[in-house]
A and B are shown apart, each in its own frame.
Chain A
Amino acid sequence: MSKGGRMSKARERIFAAIRRNKKPLADAPVAGEGGARADTIPTHTIPVRTQLTAEALCAEFEHRLSAASASVEWVESASGIPAAVWRHLSDQQRRTQCFANGSAAELGWASVPELDIRSGAGDADSPVCITSAFRGIAETGSLVLLSAPGHSSASYFLPELLIVTLSRRDILATQEAVWADLRRRPEDMPRTVTLVTGPSRTGDIEQKIVLGAHGPRQVHVLLVN
């Protein structure tokens, strides 16, 4: 039998077994007619700690970011980002070659000639990548990064230092708020949606936490007022 034939046999077998064995739930919603549509989404428990005023939202986001071992800095406007990047890199005595992604690539980098800014995702040895986040989640201090033309998902994982810019108004309380925003966009679901919460880490050696396993050792967030 051909591979394809065998696979459709497997599909038939699996679905037949499921239909034979499954037990209906008295209180289950009718799932048959595309039950998982945006307008029939059931809501679940949302932690009370996410009910925050606009001011408190930013403070909570910052607090959770540092709890996740990320660093954070405010800049007044997008035009201040290149200078802030330069400051951060020189504080860290880092090389100045950076890859910039997405809207971060279109900032006024010429104002800081010391920085060697390249557009792209970087390679195996990229020291720094700068990218922009779609949203921030105050509940956990997570950055929501989407893939899109010009936005490489690999660039979130390749560099030693990941710098992420995020506008104050894009800080939301919960993941649920982010999903609602994603559904409101005219585009399809992005190919990748990545929630980044602090630097890469591992506990695989004797349960000790070590930062920078395969991804960035440091995550620095520039919040734009």
Chain B
Amino acid sequence: MQPSCSSFKQQAAQALRDPKLQGAFGKLGDGLQARRAAAVGQLPEFEALREDARRIKRRVMSDLDTWLEQFEQKVLGQGGHIHWASTADDAREAILAICQRVGAKTVTKGKSMVTEELGLNDYLVDQGITPVETDLGEYILQLRREAPSHIVMPAVHLAQDDIERTFVESHPQLPPDRDLSTAESLVAEARQELREHFFKADVGITGANFMIAETGSTVIVTNEGNGDLTQTLARVHVVVTTIERVIPTLEDLSTFLRLLPRSATGQEATAYVTLSSGPKREGDMHGPEEFHVVVLDNGRSELLGSENQDILNCIRCGACMNHCPVYGAVGGHAYGWVYPGPLGAALTPALIGVEKSAALPNASTFCGQCVAVCPVKIPLTDIMRRWRVREHGKKMTSPLARAGLSAWAWLASRPALYRKFTGLAAWGMALCGGRRRRLSRMPLAGGWTRYRDFPAPEGETFHAQLAQLKKRAAKTGAEGLRHEQGGAHE
């Protein structure tokens, strides 16, 4: 997927003008946020689990190579294959090689953000292979040729009537007057349409929420069941995942399974959690003949040991975006690449370079709600701030902004001069505010006054008023501030 993060502002402006999009993202509060709050409220140990999860992740990262090697040994021992991919190119080629070797014509896919990172669908189509997305949201988007706008709810930006229209256009073999007026009828139609694909597919590609070193299993955490049909009914199962997803033991998995569904959708447990270990065994009725795990790095190993390492702890629950007021205002597409919201603002610069994505870590008020809900306690705002430091250090910010910043710092480190300047500013702005006591326009703050007034200051600064009070107090011999100050305001 070609990133367009540097056009974040324009993309955001477009989203803000789209009433349908505003409606869709406006529902996050009553939907996913409320559901998470209810589920978390019912589990008194939630905070302790977050701390456990953070600890597990730190332990994994401190010895990532060991856990990956253990995982590899187990996969090989169970008759599976493992493919290491340093770059997106490596991963695409490894997947293509498997597909070509088994003569694959169609590939079913479970939901996988890593394959979005690879731009896998377009790549397979170019090679004459047909990918079929089977997650309902992803299926809808594939029909509409759109990218996901959320990592858990990919089609959350769409309204039901958009989906209805898409199905009418995309399923011309069905009666045009059929009733598609309910979410239930749309779900039923997608179920019917996708059924045969599961059986016909030569290769089934899924992601993995976790890899377990102890057992050599890949784990998917899902609700629809399409991921399981994808990985069970195709002749070959290819898991596409990334290096940081490995965890040591089944017990570690249980801790994450208490956090992930509550954080993502407010569920106590998702409908399905499946651990897959190797290919079909003797006597098995179903299951893939081949089991492959493609493990992608794509820049992640360079985060390891860095000040931004903690972003590797992410378990992709989406809570940070569900609770982000910026994401809630502009939606996922504005972010311009695979990972939107606070996760994207913290991760994207590491994967595609801060040069192409500096707008993302800047698009935050640092309100901290993402940090407050993150199930693995990633300091997302600190990471975003460090990308800003990087951007500033590389002189990528505007010269005017840099000059303004150093001028302010220079002034603020000279208190006497600073007083003179602030005194003038307060006086000037109060004057401009006049009897309306507010400004409708202000130089260098067009962004502010386009949408709001700028309240005028009182006139004299606090420090100037205090100095006068002190002077008067000295003259009259009064003691302390208290009396004088009371007088000043009566």
Residues of A within 8 A of B (CB): 3, 6-11, 13-15, 17-19, 21-25, 28-29, 31-32, 34-38, 41-48, 64, 67-68, 120-121, 124, 140-142, 147-158, 174-176, 179, 182, 188-208, 210, 212-216
Contacts and interface: CB of A to CB of B under 8 A. Distances in A.
Nearest to A23: B305
A154 B225 CA distance: 10
A205 B160 contact: yes
B183 interface: yes
Nearest to B225: A215
Nearest to A216: B225
B269 A22 contact: no
A206 B159 contact: yes
A22 B62 contact: yes
Given A179-B250, A214-B134, A22 B304 contact: yes
Contact of B271 (A15, A25, A41, A197): A197
A151 B68 CA distance: 30
A25 B62 contact: yes
Interface in B148-167: 153-156, 158-160, 163
B199 interface: yes
Interface of B: 24, 27-28, 31-32, 43-45, 48-49, 52, 56, 58-59, 61-70, 78, 83-87, 90, 93-94, 97, 134-137, 140, 153-156, 158-160, 163, 183-184, 186-188, 190-191, 194-196, 198-199, 213-217, 223-226, 228-229, 232-233, 243, 248-255, 257-258, 265, 268-287, 295, 297, 301-302, 304-306, 309
B52 A22 contact: no
A154 B233 contact: yes
A154 B93 contact: no
Contact of B254 (A17, A35, A176, A200): A176
Contacts of B32: 207
Given A157-B229, A194-B272, A213-B136, A43 B251 contact: yes
Contacts of B136: 202, 204-205, 213-214
Contacts of B52: 44-45
B84 A14 contact: yes
A206 to B, nearest CB: 5
A191 B86 contact: no
Contact of A21 (B94, B135, B302): B302
A45 B48 contact: yes
B443 to A, nearest CB: 44
Contact of A17 (B135, B265, B302): B302
B219 to A, nearest CB: 9
A6 B67 CA distance: 23
Residue among B66, B85, B304 having the largest count of chain A Cβ atoms under 10 Å: B66
